[in-house]
């Protein structure tokens, strides 16, 4: 995640079929959430130029709820309920989408998704992957 300048990652993105996400917004420490569930979400929105490690080289303006309350277990099995705002809330929502089999581009039209996929192929080919 950090090697690619990401701020969040879901277990399925790295081939681990577990309901786990991690975010690392600042340089303090990463957060790991097991079985995360959004309990509440605000109607107030937060706008970010969203990108994804699974969709390299593509970014799109997107709005998501500014505040969420997240229910989750930590890595030792203790249940928590914590409020998150702004970029942290946005990132958590993005990663939970991955757990539900969604990419942020899935919210785009089919035509736009086709263009994005073509751009991804071009970026991936230029990086020699």
Question: Which domains are present in the chain?
Answer: 2-126 (3.90.45.10)
Using one digit for the tens of pLDDT, what is the confidence trace for 22-63? 999 887 788 999 999 999 999 999 999 998 888 887 888 999
pTM of the model: 0.87
Instruction: Answer yes or no: 63 catalytic.
Output: no
**Higher-scoring residue by pLDDT: 104, 84:** 84
**Who has greater pLDDT, 111 or 16?**
16
Q: Which tens digit of pLDDT belongs to each residue from 55-64?
A: 887 888 999 9
Catalytic residue among 4, 27, 50, 95: 95
Query: C-alpha angle 68/19/69, rounded to 5°?
Result: 10
Confidence of residue 70 (pLDDT cuts 50, 70, 90): very high
């Amino acid at each position: 995640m950090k090697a690619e300048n990401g701020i969040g990652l879901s277990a399925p993105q790295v081939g681990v079929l577990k309901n786990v996400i991690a975010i690392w917004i600042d340089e303090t420490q990463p957060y790991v959430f097991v079985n995360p569930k959004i309990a509440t979400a605000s109607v107030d929105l937060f706008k970010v130029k969203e990108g994804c490690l699974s969709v390299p080289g593509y970014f799109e303006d997107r709005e998501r709820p500014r505040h969420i309350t997240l229910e989750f277990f930590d890595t030792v099995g203790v249940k928590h309920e914590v409020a998150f705002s702004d970029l942290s809330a946005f990132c958590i929502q993005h990663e939970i989408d991955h757990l539900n089999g969604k990419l942020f581009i899935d919210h785009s039209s089919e035509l736009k998704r086709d263009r994005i996929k073509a751009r991804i192929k071009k970026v991936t080919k230029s990086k020699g992957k």
